[in-house]
Amino acid sequence: MNPTPPAAEAAPARRGRPRSEAAERAIVEGVLRLLEEGTSIDAISIEGVARLAGVGKATVYRRWPGGKDELLLAVVDALEEPPAQPRGDSVRDDLVTLLEWYRRVGMAKRQSAVLRTMTSHVKSHPKLWQQYHDSVIKARRETLHGVLRRGVASGELRDDIDLGLLGELFTGPMLTRTVLHESKDLPDGLAEQIVDSVLDGVRPGR
Applying CB under 8 A, the residues found at the interface with a copy of itself are 155-159, 161, 164-166, 168-169, 171-177, 179-180, 184, 190, 193-194, 197-204, 206
Between 114 and 175, whose beta carbon lies closer to a copy of itself? 175
For the chain, the DSSP string reads: -PPPPHHHHH-S--TTHHHHHHHHHHHHHHHHHHHHTT--GGG--HHHHHHHHTS-HHHHHHH-TTTHHHHHHHHHHHHSPPPP---SS-HHHHHHHHHHHHHHHHHHHHH-HHHHHHHHHHHTSHHHHHHHIIIIIHHHHHHHHHHHHHHHHHTSS-SSS-HHHHHHHHHHHHHIIIII-TTS---TTHHHHHHHHHHH-SSS--
Between 5 and 204, whose beta carbon lies closer to a copy of itself? 204
Q: How far is the CB of 37 from a copy of itself (least distance, A)?
A: 23
Between 86 and 151, whose beta carbon lies closer to a copy of itself? 151
CA separation for the pair 170, 92 (Å, rounded) = 11
Q: How far is the CB of 185 from a copy of itself (least distance, A)?
A: 9
Q: How far is the CB of 122 from a copy of itself (least distance, A)?
A: 14
CA separation for the pair 157, 195 (Å, rounded) = 12
Between 2 and 183, whose beta carbon lies closer to a copy of itself? 183
Between 12 and 205, whose beta carbon lies closer to a copy of itself? 205
Contact 169, 162 (CB under 8 A): no
Q: How far is the CB of 62 from a copy of itself (least distance, A)?
A: 34
Between 43 and 165, whose beta carbon lies closer to a copy of itself? 165
Q: How far is the CB of 126 from a copy of itself (least distance, A)?
A: 11
Q: How far is the CB of 34 from a copy of itself (least distance, A)?
A: 23
